[in-house]
């Protein structure tokens, strides 16, 4: 991972890179739809450029994800991803190997369950930012995609030119809390578990890429 | 490329649908304003009513930091839990937050079905799920007729709507494994008009409690357990007949280890004693019953001495207990289900009849301290509230052959025991599509056959809350909301001394739907939207009929009731308007109008010297809760209870393993528990175990399913008892086994 240029872009480059990266990872860990494959096979390369410029090299993992799709038709590829996603994160046997909720990883309980204190922690921060779990989401609020999407939102709102100083400062504070006291604490373990739980190279790469990104982000964020 | 913000924004715009809505603010998981999102309940108390057993105990759920932390009873609800909740109810919280719960509709992509087959599920939308179910049902109707669809579900409004809108006779319940004999005995002798057994007993006010295998206190059925303890506190005498020392026996004054399947002999003898010694409640019998003379003549042959030889209970005790029972007023002979009268044995139905006769003779039906017919609010009937024109149901025969038993068929709930046989043989016609609501394979008396029957079907949908064995057989899995996620109201069923409603408040964690919404979605997808009632309006109409509303219930501590002690009925829904000791209804349909002694279907012999008794653990409810790690901790596998002499004979020690060989040819290895509290000719094990769905990550592989030892009950066998069996029973305790060291 090349960190030399982490300060390369002045001003917004790191923010844009971070926002887009968080959004990208959220997309990878949402239930696979056709637009995911379109993205991987298409415009993602432009984002890879931005990320590279900001100092994150994701090219290898993206290449693997593109290569994985090649032998299949789009329909076949999508179904394989959906089956694997369901197996990893929704329902299967012996157990879903990587429940994608913070409460599974941030608890002392011997048998982690859904809706722990970490879930409440996340939701309170969502509320402070003026967001509420959407009726259409139909899952527990500390789901990985929700949390990643949240961070992406926070970052983009802060580079919004119409936002006032106080609002931006507030968002910045929320971002700091959310990342340092919550997201950074569980997502590395989650992404590691995903890598260990799947032989599907698409998800392996996505998890590896995500793991590396979070590490990079933690360094860049905490050094601000 | 020189990267500027403008370029970047432009790029984001260019990517359009194939890009990421990074800067457009299109969030998937969030809404901007509270109105668009799901509000989180931070710290709140919610009213609820337990959905685990029929006691439906009122609950108060305490939400802290967004999550239900603990549940307690609702003291305003005094008929069920009376302010208490049992361990099963408490465990429902961990089930609610179980990571293995079903979260969204699933479709199997692996067409092979079986114990070791991974369905390879994919998540689908409700839209797709409904479309698939609808299309599959329509296809089956087109090819084989509406009767080709089977609905495994308890009777409820959405189920009946779905059934009638499709035009199939096949709504199938667990009647025969659970409550058919008591249900039909009450139906013919007292309650009539499609209604069945009473679920209401005023045990609290009984001075004498005579139990033939009734052990509801041992099942923590609070609506019976609490009144039982209150009766004891008031000094009631308790006598228990049970081949094993049950929990209720442990609270009794006297326990008789009666020979299994012979309770009928004892009850008949007691009836004889009470009549011949003129101990019956004359005023009651004269005004409220029919047929005493013929009954008296019939039971003369059943003496205590005769009963003693059969049951191994001393004759003097039989006579004495009968006298005590008759003289102690009020007295009660409590029954529920899965006691010997219902429907564990082939001779359970005459026992159920005899127990009701006994209850009538001592004046305990519709009297204080006895049985009451459930009191309910008079709700509008759905078909009157939302009238529709159903398709004519041309096929009246049922896949479970219940149509051969017209009295039972009038209840319309079918039986589990003969479904597989019918489906596998296309007899009387093909059944090729189906849906199951909240039932598991392991609850069928013949799980292997049902598995084969489902495999034979072209399509099978399953509605459940956890990925059970039934889900593994499904083409489409539909997640139902957990009861703690449901909002609305529930009508008291058990111990309905007066009409009572309980409030439910909850929100769904995932993408589950209630059964009425699911049934509606299926109807719509089938092109039968005209059959979908306005459920909300109907529920409101029911509340209005009860004189209340959700708001009023909430203000009234989550309960709405017309609290008053029931006034005893003196007229009953039978042709003679009385409790028919001599059943004219049975006589009309060609069945024995009076209960007679019938030998047990099986008896221990040289090859299978032990009768296999089964029971339910106090902290488990069928197979619903076995995936709960805390409950499983209490007992991780089923045990084989046996007498010390048995253990010595076969050479096993406490905690060792025994092999149990059954007439099915299967053999189970079960851990031994030695106790004097069981007859020497019996062994006993618990239901709930032997899960083979690996999705049941906690329960999988724990213990064995005693159902594997039960021989299938084929129609030709059941018909042998037709002269005295107006309804099916799966007679699951009519099995004898051999036990040896493993």
pLDDT in tens, B255-283: 999 999 999 999 999 999 999 999 999 99
* Candidate from B3, B28, B109 with C-beta closest to A83: B109
The angle that helices A34-41 and A12-28 make with each other, rounded to 10 degrees, is 130
Up-side HSE of residue A145: CA atoms within 13 Å toward CB? 19
Judge contact between B239 and B209, C-beta under 8 A: yes
Judge contact between B151 and B434, C-beta under 8 A: yes
Nearest chain A residue to B108 by CA: give it.
Answer: A83
Relative to beta strand A132-133, strand B30-31 is antiparallel
Nearest chain B residue to A85 by CA: give it.
Answer: B122
A95 to B99: CB separation less than 8 angstroms, yes or no: yes
Judge contact between B727 and B680, C-beta under 8 A: no
CA distance B736 to B633: 30
Q: Which residues contact B547 (CB under 8 A, 6 or more apart)?
A: B560
Which DSSP category does A134 fall into? B
SS3 assignment, position B108: strand
Mean pLDDT, residues B53-79 taken together: 94
B695 to A134: CB separation less than 8 angstroms, yes or no: no
With bands split at pLDDT 50, 70 and 90, how would you rate the model's confidence at B691? low
Residue B193's pLDDT is 83
SS3 assignment, position A206: helix
**Tell me: the pLDDT tens digits for B606-634?**
999 999 998 878 876 665 666 666 676 77
CA distance B456 to B423: 8
Q: Which residues of B touch A123 (CB under 8 A)?
A: 40, 66
Mean pLDDT, residues B106-121 taken together: 93
The torsion angle over the Cα atoms of residues A6, A7, A10 and A15, rounded to 10 degrees, is 40
Q: Which of B386-400, B505-519, B656-670 has the lowest mean pLDDT?
A: B656-670
A90 to B18: CB separation less than 8 angstroms, yes or no: no
Give the Å distances, CA to CA, from A18 to A48, A49, B1, B79, B675.
12, 13, 19, 59, 67
List for chain B the helix, strand, coil content (%; round to 5): 35, 15, 50
CA distance A119 to A130: 17
* Candidate from B22, B40, B109 with C-beta closest to A79: B109
CA-closest candidate to residue B625, choices B688, B704, B702, B701: B688
Within B260-387, strands assigned E span 289-290, 331-332, 371-372
With bands split at pLDDT 50, 70 and 90, how would you rate the model's confidence at B507? confident
CA distance B711 to B167: 33
CA-closest candidate to residue A176, choices A136, A208, A129: A129
CA distance B366 to B370: 7
Nearest chain B residue to A31 by CA: give it.
Answer: B123
Please list the alpha-helical segments (H only) found in B348-460. 348-361, 382-385, 406-409, 419-425, 447-456
Whether the predicted pLDDT of B364 surpasses 70: yes
B509 to A101: CB separation less than 8 angstroms, yes or no: no
A38 to B18: CB separation less than 8 angstroms, yes or no: yes
Residue A111's pLDDT is 78
Whether the predicted pLDDT of B16 surpasses 60: no
Calculate ∠ Cα B231-B233-B238, nearest 5°: 55
Q: What is the largest CA-CA distance in chain B?
A: 110
CA-closest candidate to residue B243, choices B228, B259, B227: B259
Residue A12's pLDDT is 66
With bands split at pLDDT 50, 70 and 90, how would you rate the model's confidence at B697? low
* Candidate from B37, B122, B693 with C-beta closest to A132: B37
CA distance B420 to B427: 10
Q: What tokens appear for B328 in the block?
A: 């102690």
CA distance B558 to B550: 9
CA distance A66 to B329: 83
With bands split at pLDDT 50, 70 and 90, how would you rate the model's confidence at B730? confident
Within B105-197, strands assigned E span 106-108, 121-123, 149-152, 171-172
A120 to B100: CB separation less than 8 angstroms, yes or no: no
Whether the predicted pLDDT of A4 surpasses 50: no
Up-side HSE of residue B446: CA atoms within 13 Å toward CB? 22
CA distance B20 to A38: 11
* Candidate from A23, A53, A86 with C-beta closest to B123: A86
Phi, psi of B707 (to 5 degrees): -60, -25
**Tell me: the pLDDT tens digits for A79-131?**
999 999 999 999 987 689 999 999 999 988 877 899 999 999 999 999 999 89
CA distance A49 to A96: 35
* pLDDT over 90 percentage in chain A: 66
With bands split at pLDDT 50, 70 and 90, how would you rate the model's confidence at A3? very low
CA-closest candidate to residue B301, choices B327, B326, B333, B276: B276
Q: Is B389 an interface residue toward A (CB < 8 Å)?
A: no
B20 to A23: CB separation less than 8 angstroms, yes or no: yes
Handedness of CA B480, B481, B482, B488 (dihedral sign): negative
Q: Is B70 an interface residue toward A (CB < 8 Å)?
A: no
| pTM for the predicted model, two decimal places | 0.92
A156 to B20: CB separation less than 8 angstroms, yes or no: no
Q: Is B15 an interface residue toward A (CB < 8 Å)?
A: yes
Mean pLDDT, residues B51-71 taken together: 93
Handedness of CA B85, B91, B94, B97 (dihedral sign): negative
Q: Which residues of A touch B103 (CB under 8 A)?
A: 90-91, 139
Up-side HSE of residue B533: CA atoms within 13 Å toward CB? 24
Q: How many residues does chain B have?
A: 742
Q: Which residues of A touch B122 (CB under 8 A)?
A: 79, 82-83, 86
Judge contact between B660 and B640, C-beta under 8 A: yes
DSSP string, B701-724: T-S--GGGGSPP--HHHHGGGTTT
Distance from the B513 Cα atom to the nearest Cα atom in chain A, whole angstroms: 11
CA-closest candidate to residue B711, choices B602, B598, B599, B637: B602
Mean pLDDT, residues B666-675 taken together: 92
Direct distance between the N- and C-terminal alpha carbons of chain A, in angstroms, rounded to an integer: 19
Nearest chain B residue to A15 by CA: give it.
Answer: B5
Q: How many CB atoms lie within 10 A of CB B209?
A: 28
DSSP string, A60-98: HHHHHHHHHHTTS-HHHHHHHHHHHHIIIIIS-SS--SS
CA distance B209 to B213: 12
Judge contact between B196 and B187, C-beta under 8 A: yes
Q: How many CB atoms lie within 10 A of CB A86?
A: 25
Whether the predicted pLDDT of B512 surpasses 70: yes
Q: Is B8 an interface residue toward A (CB < 8 Å)?
A: yes
Q: Is B694 an interface residue toward A (CB < 8 Å)?
A: yes
Mean pLDDT, residues A164-174 taken together: 91
* Candidate from B36, B67, B695 with C-beta closest to A92: B695
Element (H, E) at B323: helix B315-327
Q: Please, which residues 393-452 of chain B have a Cβ atom closer than 8 Å to chain A?
A: none
* pLDDT over 70 percentage in chain B: 92
Calculate ∠ Cα A151-A66-A196, nearest 5°: 65
Whether the predicted pLDDT of B19 surpasses 50: no
Phi, psi of B106 (to 5 degrees): -130, 150
Whether the predicted pLDDT of A2 surpasses 80: no
CA distance B129 to A147: 28
Please list the alpha-helical segments (H only) found in chain A. 12-28, 34-41, 44-54, 59-69, 74-85, 102-105, 117-128, 144-158, 165-178, 184-197, 201-222
Q: Which residues of B touch A13 (CB under 8 A)?
A: 3
Direct distance between the N- and C-terminal alpha carbons of chain B, in angstroms, rounded to an integer: 77
Whether the predicted pLDDT of B21 surpasses 90: no
Q: What tokens appear for A48 in the block?
A: 């890879």
Q: How many CB atoms lie within 10 A of CB B47?
A: 24
Nearest chain B residue to A126 by CA: give it.
Answer: B30
Q: Which residues are B612's β-sheet partners?
A: B683
Q: Is B509 an interface residue toward A (CB < 8 Å)?
A: yes
Q: What tokens appear for B385 in the block?
A: 């509230």
Which DSSP category does B381 fall into? P
| Structure ipTM | 0.90
A120 to B65: CB separation less than 8 angstroms, yes or no: yes
């Amino acid at each position: 991972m090349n960190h030399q240029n982490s300060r390369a872009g002045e001003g917004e480059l790191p923010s844009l890179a971070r926002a887009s990266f968080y959004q990208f990872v959220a997309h990878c860990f949402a239930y696979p739809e056709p637009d995911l494959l379109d993205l991987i096979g298409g415009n993602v390369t432009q984002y890879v450029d931005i990320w590279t410029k900001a100092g994150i090299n994701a090219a290898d993992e993206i290449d693997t994800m593109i290569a994985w799709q090649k032998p299949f038709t789009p329909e076949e590829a999508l179904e394989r991803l959906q089956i694997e996603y369901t197996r990893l994160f929704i329902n299967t046997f012996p157990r879903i190997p990587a429940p994608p909720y913070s409460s599974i990883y941030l608890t002392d309980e011997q048998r982690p369950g859904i809706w722990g204190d970490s879930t409440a922690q996340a939701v309170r921060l969502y509320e402070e930012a003026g967001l509420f779990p959407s009726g259409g989401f139909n899952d527990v609020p500390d789901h990985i995609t929700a949390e990643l999407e949240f961070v992406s939102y926070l970052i983009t709102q802060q580079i919004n030119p119409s936002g006032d100083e106080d609002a931006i400062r507030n968002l910045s504070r929320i971002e700091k809390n959310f990342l340092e006291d919550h997201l950074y604490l569980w997502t590395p373990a989650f992404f590691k578990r995903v890598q260990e739980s799947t032989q599907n190279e698409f998800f392996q790469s996505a998890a590896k890429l995500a793991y590396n990104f979070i590490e990079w982000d933690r360094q860049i964020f905490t050094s601000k | 490329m020189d990267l500027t913000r403008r370029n970047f924004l432009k790029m984001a715009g260019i990517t359009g649908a194939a890009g990421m809505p990074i800067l457009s603010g299109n969030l998937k998981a969030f809404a901007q304003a509270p109105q668009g999102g799901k509000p989180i309940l931070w710290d709140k108390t919610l009213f609820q009513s337990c959905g685990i057993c029929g006691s439906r105990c009122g609950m108060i759920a305490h939400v802290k930091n967004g999550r239900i932390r603990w549940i307690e009873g609702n003291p305003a609800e005094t008929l069920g839990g009376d302010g208490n909740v049992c361990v099963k109810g408490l465990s429902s919280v961990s089930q609610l937050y179980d990571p293995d719960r079903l979260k969204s509709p699933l479709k199997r992509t692996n067409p092979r079905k079986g114990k070791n087959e991974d369905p390879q599920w994919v998540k689908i939308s409700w839209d797709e799920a409904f479309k698939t179910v609808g299309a599959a049902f329509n296809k089956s109707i087109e090819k084989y007729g509406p009767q080709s669809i089977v609905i495994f579900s308890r009777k409820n409004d959405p189920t009946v709507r779905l059934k009638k809108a499709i035009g199939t006779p096949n709504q199938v319940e667990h009647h025969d494994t659970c409550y058919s004999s008591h249900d039909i005995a009450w139906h013919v002798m007292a309650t009539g008009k499609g209604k069945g057994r009473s679920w209401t007993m005023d045990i609290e006010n009984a001075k004498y409690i005579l139990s033939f295998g009734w052990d509801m206190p041992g099942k923590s059925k609070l609506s019976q357990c609490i009144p039982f303890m209150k009766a004891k506190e008031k000094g009631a005498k308790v006598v228990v007949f049970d081949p094993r020392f049950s929990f209720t026996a442990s609270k009794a004054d006297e326990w008789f280890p009666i020979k299994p399947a012979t309770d009928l002999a004892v009850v008949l003898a007691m009836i004889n004693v009470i009549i011949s010694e003129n101990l019956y409640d004359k005023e009651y019998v004269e005004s409220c019953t029919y047929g005493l003379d013929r009954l008296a003549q019939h039971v003369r042959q059943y003496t205590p001495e005769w009963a003693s030889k059969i049951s191994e209970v001393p004759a003097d005790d039989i006579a004495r207990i009968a006298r005590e029972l008759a003289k102690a007023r009020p007295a009660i002979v409590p029954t529920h289900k899965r006691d010997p009268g219902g429907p564990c044995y082939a001779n359970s139905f005459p026992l159920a009849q005899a127990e009701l006769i006994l209850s009538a003779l001592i004046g305990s039906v519709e009297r204080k301290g006895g049985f009451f017919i459930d009191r309910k609010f008079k709700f509008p009937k759905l078909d009157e509230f939302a009238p529709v024109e159903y398709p004519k149901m041309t096929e009246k025969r049922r896949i479970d052959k219940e149509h051969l038993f017209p009295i039972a068929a009038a209840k319309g709930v079918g039986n589990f025991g003969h479904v597989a046989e019918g489906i596998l043989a296309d007899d009387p016609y093909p059944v090729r599509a189906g849906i199951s609501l909240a039932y598991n394979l392991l609850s069928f008396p013949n799980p292997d056959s049902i598995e084969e029957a489902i495999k034979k079907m072209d399509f099978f949908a399953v509605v459940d809350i956890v990925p059970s064995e039934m889900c593994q057989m499904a083409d489409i899995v539909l997640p139902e909301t957990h009861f703690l996620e449901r909002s609305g109201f529930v009508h008291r069923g058990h111990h309905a001394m007066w009409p009572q409603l309980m409030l439910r408040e909850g929100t769904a964690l995932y993408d589950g739907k209630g059964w009425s919404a699911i049934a509606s979605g299926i109807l719509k997808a089938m092109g039968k939207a005209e059959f979908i009632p306005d459920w909300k309006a109907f529920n409101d109409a029911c509340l209005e009929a009860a004189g209340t509303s959700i708001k009023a219930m909430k203000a009234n501590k989550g309960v709405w009731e017309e609290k008053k002690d029931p006034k005893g009925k003196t007229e009953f829904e039978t042709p003679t308007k009385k409790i028919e000791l001599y059943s004219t209804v049975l006589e009309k349909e060609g069945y024995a109008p009076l209960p007679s002694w019938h030998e047990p279907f099986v008896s221990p012999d040289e090859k299978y010297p032990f009768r296999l008794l089964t029971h339910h653990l106090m902290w488990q409810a069928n197979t619903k809760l076995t995936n709960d790690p805390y409950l499983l901790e209490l007992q991780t596998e089923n045990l084989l209870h046996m007498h010390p002499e048995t253990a010595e004979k076969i050479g096993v020690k406490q905690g060792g393993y025994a092999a149990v060989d059954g007439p099915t040819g299967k053999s189970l290895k079960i851990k031994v528990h030695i106790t004097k509290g069981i007859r020497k000719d019996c062994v006993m094990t618990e239901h709930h175990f032997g899960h083979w769905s690996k999705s049941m990550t906690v329960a999988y592989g724990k213990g064995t399913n005693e159902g594997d030892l039960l021989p299938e009950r084929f129609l030709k066998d059941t018909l042998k008892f037709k002269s005295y069996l107006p309804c099916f029973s799966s007679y699951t305790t009519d099995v004898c086994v051999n036990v040896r060291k493993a």
